[in-house]
Structure 1
Amino acid sequence: MMKKRTPHTAASALAIGAMLTTGAAMAAELGDTQDPIKLAVLEWTGAQVSTQIAGMVLGKAGYTVEYITAGSFPQYSGLSDGTLSATVEIWSNNVGDIYPQALAAGDIENIGSLGLETREGWAYPKFMEEICPGLPDWTALKDPACAAALATTDTLPNGRLLDYPADWGSRSGEIIADNDLPLMAIPGGSEGAMLAELRASVATESPLLLMFWAPHHVLAEIDLGWLDMPPCASDDPDKCVQLPQVEKVVWSGFADKWPAGYEILKLLQVSSSAQEQMMSAILEDGQPLEEVVAAWVEANPDVWQPWIDAAVN
C-alpha cells in the first residue's frame, strides 16, 4: 500500500466543511505522538476529503499522521490487526460481510456518524415539477403525461429512468415492477455519461429522471429534487433503496494508544454541502486536493479547534 507520512508541523490536508457535534468529549492525554496514526485513504474523492480533514486536525493536535491507500473491503483486515488505525467514511450500503464480522469480533470499533447528509434514490432537475405536477410524490409518475414526457424511442410508451451503470447493480427495475409504474430503467454508460446527460437536461430543460446519490460534487452546481420513493416489496433490504449511513471506525487499540485523538475523531463531523464544494473545486476546477483543504482549514479554525479543545482540556 502507498504511504504518505505527514508530520503535524506540515499538515497536508483536504478541504471540507465540518460541524462540531453537540456532544462533549472527555479530556484525554495525547498518548503516543511518535508512532503515526495511519488513516485509510479510499477510492472516492469525498472519502479522501474526509480523511484529509481528519488528518489535518489530528496534526494540529500534535500527532503524526500517515495516509495509506486502502480498498473499501481490504481496509478491514488492516483495521483489525492495527496496520491501519482508522477510517472515517464507511458507507453502510457498501460494507460487505467482513465489516460486521470485524465489529462482532471486537477487532474494530464504530465511533459514530460522520454527519454527512446522505441521499440515494430517484432524482430530477427542479423544472420537472412543472412537467410532472405532484412531484416529489412518487405517484406523480403514474400520470400518462409524465411518462410520455420522459419517454424515448427505446422506452415508448413508458418513461425512461436513467439508472446506475449495469456493473453497479440496480434495484430500480424491481421497484418499478412492484409498483406498476409506466417506466423503464435504462442503465447509464458511466458516471461521467450520467453527469453529461444531467447537465444537458438542465441546460435545455429536457425531461429527466435518474437514479442518483448525495453527497456528489455536481450538486454544488445543480439543485436536484428527490422523489419520495415508491414502496419496496422485498424483504431483503439490499434490494431496496435506503438512506445510507456514513460512519467512522477505528482499530480496537486506538483509544488506548491515542486517547485524545480518539476523542477528536469522535467529534469530527463533515457537512455534505461543504464536501460537495470541496469536491467540485478538486474535480471540476482541477485544484490540488491538499491545497483545497489547507485553504479551508486556514479559514475555519472556529470549526475544528473546538474538537481539539474538547478532547485535551
Structure 2
Amino acid sequence: MKTIGLGIALTALAGAVQAADMGAADEPIKLAINEWTGQHVTTHVAGEMLKAAGYKVEYVTAGMMNQFQALADGDIHATLEIWSSNVSDEYAKKISEGTVVEIGDLGLNAREGIAYPAHVADLCPGLPAWEALKDCAQVFATAETIPMGRLVDYPADWGTPGADRMTGFDLPIKAVPAGSEGALIAELRASTERKSPLLITFWQPHWAMSAYDVKFVDLPVGNEECFNDPAWGPNPNAVNDCDFAPSRIFKASWSGFAEKWPAAYEILSNYQLSVEAQQPMMGKIDVDGGSVEDVVAAWMAENEGSWRPVVDAATK
C-alpha cells in the first residue's frame, strides 16, 4: 500500500530544511526499540533513512517506561514513538534537566474510541454519528444482553472506557469486557466475515483497523471538563459523555545529538510516519509473519518519494 499523504507531508517538511554537517558519521547512532510492533516499524523506517544518508545505525532494546535514563546518559541516542498517554514521570524530569530534548511529533494520528467494521453502517443508519446508537441499539443485542445492545469493551484489566461512555451517553447498550486483545480481533474477524453487527472499543494505530476497515463513532471531543463536570456535554447527569482524551505521539533524543550528528538530527526532527503507512506494515508482520526488516525494506523501496526528500534536504 503506497501512502500519498505521507509523501506530501514529508516533501513539504523537506523544503524547509537546510543541508547540515554529517558530524561523527563513523560512530553508530543508537535507536531505542520498545515493546510493540508499531514502534519497531517506526524505528526501522527512521534507521533506514539514516543509513541512506550515510550513517551507521544500531538498534538497542529498551523498555518504554525506563529508557529515559539511558537516553539522558547518551547510551541511547533517540527514541521515536513516545505516547503522551503512557509516558513516565522520568521523561518530564529529564526534559526539565535538559538531558533529553523533544524533537517533534511523529505524525501518527493516535486514537481510541467506540468503533465498528464499516459494513455495520448499513445495519445502523446514521453512523458514524453517536446519536444513531439511540435508535439502533437493539441491532447489537445478543443473548447475554437482550434487550440491550452489546459493546465489546477492552479486557477488564485495561479499565472500562467503553462502559463509561455507554453510561455517559445514557445508551441502552451493555459493555461486555473482552478476554484479551486476541478476543477483540476475533470479534472483528467474525463480524467482517458474517457481515454481522458489532460495536467495539478499539484504537489506532493497529493493523486490524486496516484489515477489517474499522471506523470510529463520532463523539464530542474528549477534554477534562467532560471527564469531571456532569454539566458538560449532551448528558447533564453524567461525566464521560465525550470521546477519549487525544494522545500525542512524539520523538525525543539525547541532548548531545544535534551537535554530534547535525544532519541526522535534521532527518529525525522532520521524520513523520502516517497511520496509513504504519498499520499495513504492522499487519504484514503480526498477521502474515514477515520480519520487521523485510517489511520495512519493501515499504522503503515502494515509497522512496515519501522519505527521500527529507534525507536529501538534510544532506545535500
**TM-score (normalizing by structure 2):** 0.87
How far apart in 2 are the matches of 1:116 and 1:147? 32
**1:282 shift after superposition:** 1.4
Alignment of 1:110-129 (within 5 A): 110-129=102-121
Q: Secondary structure at the match of 1:22?
A: helix
How far apart in 2 are the matches of 1:118 and 1:261? 25
Alignment of 1:213-252 (within 5 A): 213-229=203-219, 233-235=226-228, 241-252=244-255
**1:271 shift after superposition:** 1.9
Query: RMSD in angstroms over aligned alpha carbons?
Result: 2.1
Q: Secondary structure at the match of 2:133?
A: helix
CA shift digits 1:225-251 (9 cap, x unpaired): 210125763139xx7612322111111
Alignment check: 8 A CA contact 2:11 2:306 kept? no
Q: Work out whether 1:288 is the aligned partner of 2:281.
A: no
Alignment of 1:1-313 (within 5 A): 18-19=6-7, 20=10, 22-23=12-13, 24-143=16-135, 146-229=136-219, 233-235=226-228, 241-313=244-316
CA shift digits 1:27-75 (9 cap, x unpaired): 2111112222110111111110010011111111121111011111011
Match of 1:4 in 2: none
**1:256 shift after superposition:** 0.9
**1:254 shift after superposition:** 0.8
**1:178 shift after superposition:** 2.1
- Report the residue type matching 1:303 in the other structure: S
Alignment check: 8 A CA contact 1:175 1:231 kept? no
Taking every aligned residue pair, what percent have the same amino acid on both sides?
Answer: 49
- Using the TM superposition, name which of 247-256 and 292-301 deviates more: 292-301
- Report the residue type matching 1:50 in the other structure: T
**1:22 shift after superposition:** 2.0
In structure 2, relative to structure 1, the CA distance for the partners of 1:98 and 1:173 (3 Å cut) is farther
How far apart in 2 are the matches of 1:226 and 1:241? 11
Alignment check: 8 A CA contact 1:39 1:65 kept? yes
How far apart in 2 are the matches of 1:186 and 1:112? 38
- Report the residue type matching 1:312 in the other structure: T
How far apart in 1 are the matches of 2:134 and 2:266? 50
Alignment check: 8 A CA contact 1:16 1:275 kept? no
Q: Which runs of 5+ in 2 are unaligned?
A: 230-239
In structure 2, relative to structure 1, the CA distance for the partners of 1:103 and 1:170 (3 Å cut) is farther
How far apart in 1 are the matches of 2:122 and 2:192? 14
Aligned pair count? 295
In structure 2, relative to structure 1, the CA distance for the partners of 1:180 and 1:231 (3 Å cut) is farther
**TM-score (normalizing by structure 1):** 0.87
- Report the residue type matching 2:252 in the other structure: V
Alignment check: 8 A CA contact 1:179 1:231 kept? no
- Using the TM superposition, name which of 92-101 and 194-203 deviates more: 92-101
How far apart in 1 are the matches of 2:147 and 2:99? 54
- Using the TM superposition, name which of 260-269 and 274-283 deviates more: 274-283
Alignment check: 8 A CA contact 1:26 1:310 kept? yes
Match of 1:3 in 2: none
How far apart in 2 are the matches of 1:170 and 1:35? 47
How far apart in 2 are the matches of 1:298 and 1:225? 29
Q: Secondary structure at the match of 1:40?
A: strand
How far apart in 1 are the matches of 2:152 and 2:122? 19
**1:220 shift after superposition:** 2.8
**1:186 shift after superposition:** 1.4
